[in-house]
Chains A and B, each alone.
Chain A
Amino acid sequence: DTGVSQDPRHKITKRGQNVTFRCDPISEHNRLYWYRQTLGQGPEFLTYFQNEAQLEKSRLLSDRFSAERPKGSFSTLEIQRTEQGDSAMYLCASSLGQRSNQPQHFGDGTRLSIL
């Protein structure tokens, strides 16, 4: 069991630049989720996919954010024109099955720092 893998682990960039993160879920998991965690808070939901279909997007996901899961396997999260407030830990999770009561398994996250 290789677990959920996220790349890179850390990203430091200047304000205004674009960044892209990758998530590789557990291989047989058909659901993939993105969350964001800031200091002192719990993770907050951003969006999720079932296979390649993006089923829900949070209001937190402004139009500068886009997520894809083109072949129903790995996913990318892109942030365009980054802002200071985008500094956070971006977490990916995956789960198996159609039902909502399957525990989600998290990767170790990508920490984004905007200078």
Chain B
Amino acid sequence: DQQVKQNSPSLSVQEGRISILNCDYTNSMFDYFLWYKKYPAEGPTFLISISSIKDKNEDGRFTVFLNKSAKHLSLHIVPSQPGDSAVYFCAAQDDKIIFGKGTRLHILP
């Protein structure tokens, strides 16, 4: 049973536009969420996190939004750049990390 769900396997976005990646979770006890980015043949790289006491966290071009009542997170990337093409994993952390299946983001020239 998937506790962290990323329902879009892939997403294509024009360079310079906003990329929005979505994630839902089922366990209301989760209190720390992360996004990881993964290139082929490399391990996941930590991107940004958010605690459940916040509803937004921003780091440069990356912003994560948390809606606890809807058990929903989203990652916004603006403006999108070619190097952002990768697989993005949404995750919840409680000692161990519980990952979603990932969304493959393609940035189109």
Contact = CB atoms under 8 A, between A and B. Distances in A.
Contacts of A56: 95-96
A48 B95 CA distance: 9
Interface stretch (B13-21, B38-46, B58-66, B71-79): B38-46
B93 A100 contact: yes
- In this complex, the interface size class of chain B, counting residues with CB under 8 Å from chain A, is 20 to 34
Chain B facing A: main interface SS: strand
A35 to B, nearest CB: 8
Interface residues of A, number: 24
A107 B51 CA distance: 24
A45 B93 contact: no
B101 interface: yes
A43 B49 contact: no
Contacts of B45: 106
Given A100-B32, A108-B42, A42 B96 contact: no
B44 A91 contact: yes
Interface string A92-114: 01000000110111111100000
Contact of A43 (B34, B44, B46, B51): B44
Question: What secondary structure prevails in chain A residues at the interface with B?
Answer: loop
Interface in B77-109: 89, 91, 93-102
Contact of A109 (B34, B43, B102): B43
Given A100-B32, A103-B49, A40 B44 contact: no
A91 B4 CA distance: 19
Nearest to B33: A101
Contact of B101 (A40, A104, A107): A40
A56 B95 CA distance: 9
B46 A45 contact: no
Nearest to B39: A108
B97 A43 contact: yes
B99 A100 contact: no
B97 A45 contact: yes
Contacts of A101: 31-32, 49, 51, 93
Interface of B: 4, 31-32, 34, 36, 41-46, 49, 51, 89, 91, 93-102
